[in-house]
Amino acid sequence: FKKNFRVSKRLFVDILKEIEPKFAPVRCKGLKPKEKFAATLRFLAEGSYQTGVGNDFNIAIAQPTFSVIFTQCLNIIEQTFSAKWINLEMEPGQQQEARRYFFGKSGIPGVVMCADGTHIKIIAPQNDRDQHYNRKGFYSLNALIVTYPSKPWLITPKRNPAPGSPDADYNTKHSQGREIVERTIGMIKNRFRCILGARQLHYTPEKATQIT
């Protein structure tokens, strides 16, 4: 199950329970919410929606039908989970645990989060192409990844420090502390392969942002 959808069966069921009531009633021979959600996850995991996993997911979906299903699922998932899952709030115990982790990695006290950016490749948009063409020579979204969030400040590396200087030593410690976010980016792209650098999302920047 996890091999095909990149999530555990338990997580699949938990998410389905929350989003299922928000789908319109199923018509005769129509796809059930479970099948729509499975097709959406399959696309996010592999960039393909045509698959079967056991007796529950032996489905074949035409491209126009999947396009409608995909948009519907994305909208429901975004409305249901965005505010719940995408936030910068931490409980005091989580902050304490994060401080211990980052101090152990870097020796820098008081840190409870790190951030980095990653490019999500997209096809050339019809409008505002210059805003999406990056220095690496392709069109992309520049996504911000935050691991262990905190506010209101953020410490950044020093620019062009002299070798052997305190700033250079600080940059080394900073790099050691933030390696978790680099691993997180790699893990996310490996799990949801539709955003791998070797591929590109064939959608508008707005739709690609929603997928991301």
Question: Which pLDDT tens digit goes with each residue over 87-101?
Answer: 888 899 999 999 999
Q: Give the residue from 16, 49, 102, 78 showing the smallest Cα distance to 210.
A: 78
Amino acid residing at 127:
N
**106 Cβ contact partners less than 8 Å away, ≥ 6 residues apart:** 173, 174, 176, 177, 178
Which residues are bridge partners to 146 per DSSP?
115
Contact (Cβ atoms closer than 8 angstroms) between residue 18 and residue 34: no
pLDDT above 50: residue 53? no
Reduced to 3 states, what is the DSSP secondary structure of residue 119?
Answer: strand
15 secondary structure, DSSP code? H
Which residues are bridge partners to 114 per DSSP?
147
What pLDDT is attached to residue 157?
A: 86
Dist. CA 150–CA 112, nearest whole Å: 6
Instruction: Decide which of 5 and 208 is more confident.
Output: 208
* Residue 54: band (very low, low, confident or very high) from pLDDT cuts 50, 70, 90: very low
What pLDDT is attached to residue 97?
A: 92
The secondary element (H helix, E strand) that includes residue 145 is: strand 140-147
Contact (Cβ atoms closer than 8 angstroms) between residue 167 and residue 158: yes
**136 Cβ contact partners less than 8 Å away, ≥ 6 residues apart:** 119
Structure tokens at 137: 């020579």
Dist. CA 212–CA 206, nearest whole Å: 10
Instruction: Decide which of 88 and 70 is more confident.
Output: 70
Amino acid residing at 195:
I
Radius of gyration in angstroms for the set of CA atoms belonging to the chain, rounded to a whole number: 21
pLDDT digits (tens, 9 = 90+) for 128-185: 899 999 999 999 999 988 888 665 667 888 889 999 999 999 999 988 888 888 888 9
Q: Is 49 exposed, middle or buried (0-12, 13-18, 19+ CB in 10 A)?
A: buried
* Residue 51: band (very low, low, confident or very high) from pLDDT cuts 50, 70, 90: low
Residue 107: C-alpha distances to residues 114, 158, 169, 178 (Å)? 14, 16, 11, 12
Dist. CA 176–CA 169, nearest whole Å: 11
